Structure 1
């Protein structure tokens, strides 16, 4: 073996040993579907496989005159109180004032679940907010632990609804959230009536996916394979 071949052989072998010393095994990145229909429910929630729709329309009162009572109600269940009794907030593990965004939250509906995530995992989903509001800022939100992330209120609902549906909506949008650290997270979605009990709004969520980050060994393993290939080529050349 020539000096140059010896140097190459030593360098490649050292590289393989250095990479292998990480002690990690490769596994590719993958996305896991999130079934919103299986989450815990409170209030007016309608589900179908993989999807959930929530409204704040009371089935027994005429919230959206001239439409009949419960016209926009989805399930036959009434939205839950947010004040004076913070039943909605209690369900989500929130303080009583946590949903008072641009006015007092009166009632609403929600779903929730608990997931375990690693640092760098990304949750994505599609959402649409629909409403008949033109003054009070009913809103739809996404919840991560105690962090209420507002998705939209009536000022964001710029698309006109079809006949028989809500007056305006946002259309479907994609939202993604990256977890900064490994742990267990309380997640939720909700829609809230702000300022009064009338004039309804709704939130639809679907196509949820949790994309797991590749384990460090995925990258290291690939580098080991490349280095091993270079070593084999070096050996073949040395034999010639």
Structure 2
């Protein structure tokens, strides 16, 4: 089964499992949407939908090894929220999604909150408060955002995988950050057309840990390694 309800257009988290403060939002949030009407918002704070959970609960939910979120290199992860879904894919398929990181921390900040995605039990950072490209946002309860971006991940082997997305506070629990995700699809390789996509090679992310086999732990490092729009493999 491929990713189901990857664009959240049913208006709920149907087919997803969630932990922490996770909500379905519309353009009324203040960021617009990357496509359609609805999108998923994950925060490090609390709302009527719930509150973020401590690091150990988050790692257990995501089937991450203890301390993995600290090992991404941003400092002491304290709390966060996440969603996950199990899907099947064929070798050569491409997982693609849109994302936007929001924060009320300073940019940059020593409280280096971050957003990530993963294919359990591994993870890769999307952005943190020290990333480049932030601008002021109209989003409710946040001061800056990265804007919507697209990532595409080449699937190495046919199989069943658990996809996850999350956002984490680092060093404190008092100032919130958030991740928007939307338009999550599994496509045949030939469907990828945008030169703005980050394309992970077949020997890259899925089924291989970027944390143990390479110093590359975030998307900006992949960009600096010329993995954008070149069609060349970005091997870890």
Q: Structure 2 length normalisation: TM-score? A: 0.65
| Alignment equivalent of 2:166, drawn from 190, 209, 230 | 190
Q: How does 1:34-53 map to 2 (within 5 A)?
A: 34-35=6-7, 37-38=13-14, 39-47=16-24, 51-53=39-41
**Structure 1 partner of 2:68:** 98
Instruction: Note the aligned Cα RMSD (angstroms).
Output: 2.1
Q: Residues 105, 162 of structure 1: CA spacing in aligned structure 2 closer, same or farther, 3 A cutoff?
A: same
Indicate the structure whose relative CO is greater, using CA pairs within 8 Å and at least 6 residues apart.
Answer: 1
Distance of 1:50 and 1:144 partners within structure 2:
23
Runs of 4+ residues over 3 Å off in structure 1 = none
Equivalent-residue separation in structure 2 for 1:163 and 1:54 (angstroms)? 13
List gaps (5 residues or longer) in structure 2.
Answer: 26-36, 191-236
Distance 1:164 1:210, change over 3 A: closer
Could you tell me whether the CA contact under 8 Å between 2:20 and 2:51 is conserved in 1? yes
- Paired with 1:32 and 1:212, the residues of 2 have a C-alpha distance of 16
Match of 1:147 in 2: 122
1:32–1:211: 8 Å Cα contact kept in structure 2? Answer: no
State the match for 2:53 in structure 1.
Answer: 80
Deviations 1:41-89 (A, max 9, x none): 000000267631100113xxxxxxxxxxxxxx4x43010111xxx1110
Greater fraction helix: 1
How many residues are aligned here?
166
Larger radius of gyration: 1
On the 8 A contact 2:64/2:122 being kept in 1, the answer is: no
In the alignment, the residues of structure 2 paired with residue 46 and residue 32 of structure 1 have an alpha-carbon distance, to the nearest angstrom, of 17
Task: Give 1:129's aligned residue.
Answer: 101
8 Å CA contact 1:50, 1:207 repeated in 2? no
2:104–2:141 contact (8 Å) kept in structure 1: no
TM, length-normalised to structure 1: 0.64
